[in-house]
Structure 1
Amino acid sequence: MVAHTLWLGLLILHSLLVEALGVPNPVVPAAGQSINLKRRSPPVRNETEWARWAKSHRDAVIAKYGLRSNDKRAVGENLIVNQGFDAGFYGTLAIGTPPYPFDVFLDTGSSDLWIASSNCDSTCAGTGNYNSAKSSTFKPLNRGLNITYISGDAIGTLVEDVVQMAGFTVPNQQFGSVTSTSPNFLQNPVMGLIGLGWQSLSFSGAMPFWQALASRGSWDSPLMAFQLTRYANASNAGDLEPGGSFTMGYVNESLYTGNIDYRNIPNGQASYWVQEITSMTVQGKFISLPGGSASYAAIDTGTTLVAGPASGIAAIYAQIPGSSPGTGQWEGFYSYPCTHEVTVEISFGGPSWAISPADFQFQPVGPSSDYCYGAFHSIPTSPNVPQWIIGDTFLKNVYSVFRYSPPSVGFAALSQTALAMNGVNALIPNATLGASVASATANAASMTTRTSGVPMLSIFVMLSFVVF
């Protein structure tokens, strides 16, 4: 009777997992996983709410890159974008033993991982928080962690546990277990953030999950790649839409055409994913830009728009008839006649990559206005960080690759297969389950890799392109 009950329980559990996660696709690379992306549709906002969003977004970029001279930055501090007013990508990873899934933003502009814990106060309490008491592999590190962003604080401690994503495992990943945040900062389903920048940017000092895998040879190729869909101009977008693809360990050749143009990170200084803007045109006219570090740009999936120095942004809009600078909460932005189809092209030392007019046109000034705000806005500059922040406004127009060795960023033209995904009201893709398991040690020199025909749990990433 006991055996029959146990068998029946396992059968029901299996049925529930299949229904929730879908049937795994057995055709996956041995050490490289493809991850389907999803996006959220834009919420309905009035003119005042959009103005608040614009100010919040610009302030978040300024804060994230430490561009205020009076900002005090303590050890372990991580400045990130605000979820409530910023577009971003989120994915699912698993933490602990047994593993539990968490939705986290993926951000190439930072390098720390943090998750809201089950001990979070009322500002970040939830049923899906990280509960260290339920993990047999949890290890406290007895170090405080204070994460600061423009809308407030997140406070917690640095801990260690098993982290899994897309079939890959780091058994001793260090991350922040957050116990308090500013009110309304965390919004379901996202419970944290995973940084995909380099360890030198990590405020906690922990090696990022991706870098632990790449440095130990867990991937077939030492790189990550993104293809993002466009729904900003789609009137029939649903609550969730397919958002493209994020791969670890290989590039999806069906999503780009031609060659990937790789450009090394300047001086080999791997921190941000930096590229030098060597030329920029607006409506076919060249913009005068300084050379060298004055035109360095961080390639940042965690930033929605494109930010740059005031002089460069002004030069861009000077090529657009009828443009004018914004005021109040729209400070740093520019408006221009919505009828103008503005095309900006950027080169990083190789081909020029065009930004679609649909991506450049960010938001109407008002419901009855003929003017729109552009997606390029100004921020203060600092010698310690890149002058330009290149976000999703640009990245939706290219296939982007972030390579570990040599440290470099590559871009390629999107294929017709990729372009055909834009604005399509399609079925939400099933979860991608890894059939292989790569295990890397984050702090030690050892690494083991094993391959199994058994699908791994819910170690998948479901990225959401959130447009606010």
Structure 2
Amino acid sequence: MLVQSLSAVAFLGLAQLADASGSPSGSTSHRRTAGGGQTMNLVRSAPNSNQWSTQQWGHWAKAQKSSLEAKYGGAGASGTGVKKRATGTNYIINQVGDSSYFGSLAIGTPPISYNVLLDTGSADLWVAGSNCTTDCSGMATFNPSSSSTFHNESSSFSVSYGSGQAAGFLSQDVVQMAGFEVQNQIFGVCEQVSSGLLTEPVSGLLGLAFQSIASSGAPPFWETLVTEGAWDEPVMAFHLTRYLNLSGVQTLEPGGSFSMGFANTSLYTGDIDYVNLAVTGSYWILPITSISVQNQSINAPSGDQAYAAIDTGTTLVGGPSSFIAEIFKQIPGSAPGKDDFKGYYTYPCDTNVTVALSFGGRTWSISPADFRLTRLTKNECVGAFFENAVGGRAPAWIVGDTFLKNVYSVFRYSPASVGFAELSAVALAQNGDANAAVPSATIGSSPSSVSATGSMLPGRHKCAGIKIGRGLLYATTVSLLIMIASVHCVLL
């Protein structure tokens, strides 16, 4: 749900993605035919992290840890026999050196497109409104008067972060993405946004977890499509590219793809290894059943300490301090970080570290390229695993893009599970491809229309500790500041 790994880098100077909105054109009354699946490519924007000072990296690392803890609050049918519907893929953008991946959707009549972070660690959709008063310049904002199908729900909406707030109201309108449409989707329109909370070209966030943790209480866009039978299969899948720690990376790079209603067989090999959720109906939580470092097993967590949220909106991997310490104990020369790096560990840069995780099925390795967050000095590097101290009812582990870049990940509604598969040669070839063109967004011109009730869960007028998104980072000329999502209260 939320920590960005190279977050701090450079939202400064991010260029607006050409036609990133993927705004649908033409008639929206036709239905996409089955089998014509589209894919949403992810685009990544990269920071020039090799030029950061140790102090800048320290500020970034400290903010990452704090934001994750704020985000999680510290408190506490497969379609068989059903008529085939449709599939779609959304080309998405990856920002700031693998720190975040965003896609595009369209809202209103006529449809206007917006870039949104794709976050399996939260369940709300919100965008900045046209009356946004702080730091919303350069990005697309939603103007209610521009849509003939807009409806104001007359309910306040407020999102609090460790470094600021966004506030506005709940509304209802047509939302389209990757060829699908929900006619009366409830979402937040934020008119007050703290400075630096949103940076172009991102206008908001799309939550991809379950309705029960939605701060608004409204059915998430993806869940409506599943329950109303719009997808061929009740699954959505991610392929995330890697540009971390490479030189010459451009501001925006192809970042992979987000597929809706199917798993793209060209991007993985073998079978998808599904594991049932340890807790259903909230986050995408799996139990960690084994951990190895440099091919040496360590004691695996058990009970609640094993619960891990699989979170596309988080850049790194956070876990209980005792297990993080044990991981780094297997790496000669490693040491606890100090000052801003408290909760992290350093290790010798000439050591290639491989960590492998299992969630009850196959074992999956994390590339040394992803385990190495950054080089601080010639000989000292920082690891991408850190101590997660959220406590309470939040998952003990948050498994983000550091892990997910190494697998093809599939989130299945029914039976509720997450599956991983080995990346294909086609997928791996996209890592660090300096010649790849930034793709255009792909919201189709003939969406599958689904009518949603837009109703909210009863009694959800207050909430606490619900995470909203990967983190919205920004850089100032003096220091790097990172805003990471943590929803504290939504209907006040």
Normalised by the length of structure 1, the TM-score is 0.83
Q: Do the aligned residues in 1 keep the contact of 2:62 with 2:340 (CA within 8 Å)?
A: yes
Query: Greater CA deviation, 238-247 or 172-181?
Result: 238-247
- Tell me: CA distance 1:466–1:402, structure 2 relative to 1, closer, same or farther (3 Å): farther
1:248 counterpart residue number: 260
- Tell me: CA distance 1:204–1:433, structure 2 relative to 1, closer, same or farther (3 Å): closer
- Tell me: CA distance 1:127–1:227, structure 2 relative to 1, closer, same or farther (3 Å): closer
Q: Do the aligned residues in 2 keep the contact of 1:97 with 1:136 (CA within 8 Å)?
A: yes
Within-5 A mapping of 1:283-322:
283-322=294-333
* 2:448 aligns with one of 438, 442, 445: 438
Letter of the 2:45 counterpart: R
1:41 aligns with 2:50: no
* 1:394 aligns with one of 403, 420, 424: 403
Give the whole-Å Cα distance in 2 for the aligned partners of 1:89 and 1:95: 20
1:113 aligns with 2:122: no
3-state DSSP class of the match of 1:33? coil
1:454 counterpart residue number: none
Give the whole-Å Cα distance in 2 for the aligned partners of 1:21 and 1:134: 14
State the Cα deviation string for residues 210-255 of structure 1 (Å, max 9, x = none): 0010111100111100011111132132222211111001111011
Q: Do the aligned residues in 2 keep the contact of 1:31 with 1:438 (CA within 8 Å)?
A: no
1:141 aligns with 2:150: no
Shift of the alpha carbon at 1:31?
7.0
Within-5 A mapping of 1:42-57:
42-44=47-49, 45-57=52-64
3-state DSSP class of the match of 1:89? strand
3-state DSSP class of the match of 2:204? strand
1:416 aligns with 2:433: no
Give the whole-Å Cα distance in 1 for the aligned partners of 2:106 and 2:391: 37
Query: Greater CA deviation, 286-295 or 218-227?
Result: 286-295
3-state DSSP class of the match of 1:266? coil
Letter of the 1:439 counterpart: S
1:354 aligns with 2:365: yes
- Tell me: CA distance 1:355–1:246, structure 2 relative to 1, closer, same or farther (3 Å): same
Q: Do the aligned residues in 2 keep the contact of 1:56 with 1:85 (CA within 8 Å)?
A: no
Shift of the alpha carbon at 1:349?
0.6
- Tell me: CA distance 1:31–1:439, structure 2 relative to 1, closer, same or farther (3 Å): farther
- Tell me: CA distance 1:22–1:274, structure 2 relative to 1, closer, same or farther (3 Å): closer
Q: Do the aligned residues in 2 keep the contact of 1:262 with 1:411 (CA within 8 Å)?
A: yes
Stretches (4+) displaced over 6 A: 20-24, 83-86, 464-468
* 2:276 aligns with one of 258, 264, 269: 264
Give the whole-Å Cα distance in 1 for the aligned partners of 2:124 and 2:180: 18
Identify, as 1 or 2, the structure richer in helix: 1
1:427 counterpart residue number: 437
Q: Give the gaps of 5 or more residues in structure 2.
A: 1-17, 27-31, 77-94, 456-471, 481-492
- Tell me: CA distance 1:31–1:417, structure 2 relative to 1, closer, same or farther (3 Å): closer
Give the whole-Å Cα distance in 2 for the aligned partners of 1:431 and 1:381: 36
Q: Do the aligned residues in 2 keep the contact of 1:158 with 1:177 (CA within 8 Å)?
A: yes
1:181 counterpart residue number: 193
Normalised by the length of structure 2, the TM-score is 0.80
Shift of the alpha carbon at 1:465?
13
Letter of the 2:73 counterpart: G
Letter of the 1:144 counterpart: S
Give the whole-Å Cα distance in 2 for the aligned partners of 1:158 and 1:65: 23
3-state DSSP class of the match of 1:148? strand
State the Cα deviation string for residues 77-122 of structure 1 (Å, max 9, x = none): xxxxxx9999211111100111111111110000001111011113
Letter of the 1:161 counterpart: D
Letter of the 2:273 counterpart: D
3-state DSSP class of the match of 1:411? strand
Shift of the alpha carbon at 1:441?
2.6
Q: Give the gaps of 5 or more residues in structure 1.
A: 1-15, 70-82, 446-463
Give the whole-Å Cα distance in 1 for the aligned partners of 2:35 and 2:447: 8
Within-5 A mapping of 1:86-125:
87-125=99-137
Within-5 A mapping of 1:182-197:
182-197=194-209
State the Cα deviation string for residues 373-416 of structure 1 (Å, max 9, x = none): 00000011424121000000000000000011111100000011
Report 1 or 2 for greater relative contact order, CA contacts < 8 Å, sequence distance ≥ 6: 2
3-state DSSP class of the match of 1:111? coil
Give the whole-Å Cα distance in 2 for the aligned partners of 1:31 and 1:148: 40
Letter of the 1:443 counterpart: T
Give the whole-Å Cα distance in 1 for the aligned partners of 2:73 and 2:341: 20
1:385 counterpart residue number: 394
Give the whole-Å Cα distance in 2 for the aligned partners of 1:28 and 1:183: 43
Give the whole-Å Cα distance in 2 for the aligned partners of 1:303 and 1:241: 19
Indicate the percent of aligned positions where both proteins have the same amino acid.
50
